[in-house]
Structure formats: C-alpha cells, structure tokens
Amino acid sequence: MLFSRRLMLGLAMAGSLAGALTFPAMAEGPTEIDLFFPVPVDGKLARDMGTLIKEFNEGHPNIKATAVYTGSYDDTLIKTRAAIKAGKPPSAVIMSANFLLDMQIENELTNLDPLIAADGTTKEQFLGQFFPALQGNAVINRSVYGVPFHNSTPLLYINADKAKEAGLDPSKPPQTWAELTDWAKKLTKREGDKVTQWGIAIPCAYDYCGWMMETLTMSNGGRYYNEEFGGEVYYDTPSMLGALSWWNDLVYKHKVHAPGATPGPAVSTSFISGNAAMMMLSTGSLTYVRDNAKFAYKVAFIPRNVRNAVPIGGASLIVPAGLEADKQKAAWTLIKWMTSPEKSGWWSRATGYFAPNMAAYKTPDMVDFLNKNPDAKTAVEQLDVAKPWFATYKTVPVRKNLEDEVMLVLNGKKQPKEALAAAQKAADETLKPYNAETSLKLP
C-alpha cells in the first residue's frame, strides 16, 4: 500500500513538473497562489507575514500571493495533507523542517532539483547560500526538497537583573548542567511552601517537548534518531535516560522548575513576568523577549553535560505535489524571493529566527542591527554545534510517542526509565510498517 501510493503520486509529480518546465503560464491575469504559514512562537509573526507578502505582490504584478494562517506546525501538516488529498494543494508552505522526510516518503513533495537546474544553477551552488547545519533537513536522498526559511536553535535566556540580585554574573552564564542546576537553586525564591520565583522553565507541549528532549539528549552525548534512515529512534538509551532524569530532578529533587508540562507561550510569559528567572526557548522568541522584557536579559548557549550540541529547529519552504504548472513556477519565484539575503535578513530582524541565507549577515541593515542587538548573534554562533532535527517516517506520531511519556514524568505519574521504555515500545510499533517495507524486507 505504501509503495503503490508513492508510485501514483510520483507519476503525478513528474507530469506536473514536466509541464512546469516545458509550458510557460498562459493565463491573462496574475497567477494566484496560496502560502500556508504557521505561527509556532510568540510575537507578531502573522502581521510580519502580511507585510512581507504585500511587498512581494507589489514587486511581482504577474503573481498574486495570499498568506493563509494555518496554526501550529502540526496543524499546518494536517491542513496541507488534507489539501493535497482533496486535489487543491497550496502552492507553497512554510513547513516544519523535520516533516520533510515523512512527506517525501509519502510522495507529497515536489523535488526541487529540476527547478534549480532550470535557473542555470547547480544544487551545490543553490544550497551553498545556506548555513551547512540546515542542509540535513532540506536534502533527502541527495535531492533538494526544502529551502531553509526561518530556522532556530534553542537558547538559554537569563534575567540578568535577577542573576545579579542572586550574586551571579550574567556575563558568565552557566556552561554545564551542574552549573545551571546551581544557578536555578540560587534563583528560586520561596515564601514558606510557596514558590514565588522559579529558577528555570523548560517548555513541554506537543512539538516543543520533543525538541527539548532532543536538545537535552544531544547535550548529554546521545542521539535521538538514526540520521541516515527514517525507521529508528533511540528513546530507551542511557543518554536519553540521563537527559530526562536531569529534567525530572529539576522538578522533583531540586524543586527549581515548576511541576507539570508547560507550553511554550506559558514559559515565555513566566519569564517576561519575572516568575521564572531563566528559560530554555527557541531563538524564534527572541524578538518577543526583546520587545517585552522590562529588565536586562542575556541569551547563551544551551549548557552541556557531555558536549555542546543542539538540534536545528524552525521551518523550510516547500512546494507540495500535484500543483498546476503555472502555480508551481509562481511558487518557486516566491520562495527564491523570500529566501534572498535581503528578505531573509528582514524576516530575521522582525521575528528573532536567525537568517538561513549566510549573505544576509553581510547586508548593511543586518550589520547595523547586530551592532545594536548582539544577542541575535548567539543562535548563529551556536550553529557550529548544531545538528539536523529529528525526522522519521510518521514523524509526528513517533514524536508524540515520546512526548506523552515525558509529560507523565513531569506530572509526577511515571519515573523516567519506565516512561522511556514505554515510549520506545510505542515508537517501534509506529515505525513497524516502514521497517517492514524497507530495512526488514529481504531480497
């Protein structure tokens, strides 16, 4: 069933793509295209998107793009798949970078190689615009399926004022888990049994929770998944057990992290209000923090236990399968414009995501911005230790297999070892059909 559907969709894609390269659009009016976009972090991203698309339309009278808000990353995947199934795919989508592998397996993506070649550019030249750390989530089986647009790494945010009050030097942020635990203890305030200020807050809700677990596991020397094959995850391992045990200890042993699974927006609200003195959150929230914090703050690398390492986050621009030729051509024009150095830099300054196009950092506007806001450099500097984001067959269900168990731990209903064994068992079941079709299928 899996491969029959792939074959049918693949033939449809090939036909559509051939048309795109052979026959130019003949419509009399502008080609109308939709761009699905999620809003996964705090801030005014939806308004910024409206500004961006308005400028594109003014400069491209032959194309009329409409930005369509589609909710979270997970919501956007669901809506895109529903549109493809209905035969009315959007022309472009800002898709969570780690969903591309699963979509490619299901033949829901347009292979961008022919479009790149039609521009007279090689894949190497095209990808060479972007930071190398981002290419692992954009390239599948040596073909380009996504174009990095807004990307992130997790960061450690510190309320510098509260750090100084506690006798800590915010210019020398914690480098290790041990140091972070010590800082969190000194920054936690209590009145009797009531906590009035938490030392650290880490988000755990669907999507964010898996990203945080990958962050902590990588910092603990481990791997979350098989980067070369979409059928394996490594949940029941010593490195992930150590990561979840440390998170659990922050809550129930040291009592410096609020119990329960806290969504990302609640974590940023807690930090902005002064209820939490430190937080781990995406650089995509940096502009929101900069605009709303009434105190001095610092951002720093994610502390390590074994090594400095973080996963890439954020999203890539994709072209879904099944598009009409003129819409595919217009979508490619939009994608190239949105990921140009100038627009990539503008979007970074507006949102807090780092700019994936390296040339963005050489533009005068970006140079001036970084001189005034050096905190925006941290995520870029952290790219030296960044690795691809978890991606497998059935990425969302496999991720939720882990997230459901982590939430039980943070709610005090399970111990880490028991939870990770259950997560591994559930994920193996989810991945079983793909493994039966690939790694377990013998000649």
Bridge partners, 156 (sequence order) = 280, 300
Residue 167: phi and psi, rounded to 5, are 80, 20
Sign of CA dihedral 277, 278, 283, 285: negative
Residue 14: is its pLDDT beyond 80? Answer: no
> What CA–CA distance (Å, rounded) separates 126 from 233?
31
Residue 441: is its pLDDT beyond 50? Answer: yes
Residue 20: is its pLDDT beyond 50? Answer: no
Residue 186: phi and psi, rounded to 5, are -70, -25
Residue 157: is its pLDDT beyond 60? Answer: yes
Span 314-332, average pLDDT: 95
Token pair in block for residue 290: 């900069």
Span 405-426, average pLDDT: 98
Token pair in block for residue 432: 């079983």
Span 344-363, average pLDDT: 94
Q: What's the pLDDT score for residue 1? A: 36
- What 3 state SS string does 326-356 have? HHHHHHHHHHHHHCCHHHHHHHHHHHCCECC
351: pLDDT confidence band, cut at 50, 70 and 90?
A: confident
Out of 21-25, 194-198, 299-303, 401-405, least confident range: 21-25
Token pair in block for residue 10: 């693949």
pTM: predicted TM-score of the whole model, two decimal places: 0.90
Note the pLDDT tens digit of each residue in 261-305.
999 999 999 999 999 999 999 998 998 999 999 999 999 999 999
More confident residue, 14 or 130: 130
Query: Does an H or E element contain 150, and which?
Result: strand 147-152
| DSSP class per residue in 404-434 | HHHHHHHTTSS-HHHHHHHHHHHHHHHHHHH
| DSSP class per residue in 272-326 | HHTSBSEEEEEGGGHHHHHHH-SS-EEEEPPPBSS---EE-EEEEEE-BTT--HH
> What CA–CA distance (Å, rounded) separates 250 from 253?
6
Q: What's the pLDDT score for residue 8? A: 38
23: pLDDT confidence band, cut at 50, 70 and 90?
A: very low
Round the average pLDDT of the chain to a whole number and report it: 92
341-351 vs 364-372: helix crossing angle, rounded to 10: 20
Bridge partners, 31 (sequence order) = 63
- C-beta neighbour count of 132 within 10 angstroms: 12
Per the CB < 8 A criterion, the answer to whether 80 and 209 are in contact is: no
113: pLDDT confidence band, cut at 50, 70 and 90?
A: very high
Q: What's the pLDDT score for residue 41? A: 60
More confident residue, 7 or 334: 334
How far is C-alpha 194 from the geometric centre of its chain's CA atoms? 35
Task: Return the amino acid letter for 327.
Answer: K
Instruction: Name the one residue in this structure whose structure tokens are 């069933």.
Output: 1
Residue 107: phi and psi, rounded to 5, are 55, 45
Q: What's the pLDDT score for residue 218? A: 97
Out of 44-53, 178-187, 268-277, least confident range: 44-53
Task: Return the amino acid letter for 378.
Answer: T
> What CA–CA distance (Å, rounded) separates 388 from 314?
11
44: pLDDT confidence band, cut at 50, 70 and 90?
A: confident
> What CA–CA distance (Å, rounded) separates 316 from 73?
11
Span 198-223, average pLDDT: 97
Residue 19: is its pLDDT beyond 50? Answer: no
Sign of CA dihedral 224, 421, 259, 254: negative
Note the pLDDT tens digit of each residue in 419-436.
999 999 999 999 999 999
Q: What's the pLDDT score for residue 10? A: 40
Span 189-202, average pLDDT: 96
37: pLDDT confidence band, cut at 50, 70 and 90?
A: very high
Q: What's the pLDDT score for residue 284? A: 87
Per the CB < 8 A criterion, the answer to whether 395 and 192 are in contact is: no
Residue 139: is its pLDDT beyond 50? Answer: yes
Note the pLDDT tens digit of each residue in 62-104.
999 999 999 999 999 999 999 999 999 999 999 999 999 999 9
Q: What's the pLDDT score for residue 170? A: 97
> What CA–CA distance (Å, rounded) separates 131 from 137?
12
Question: What is the percent of the chain where pLDDT is above 90?
Answer: 88
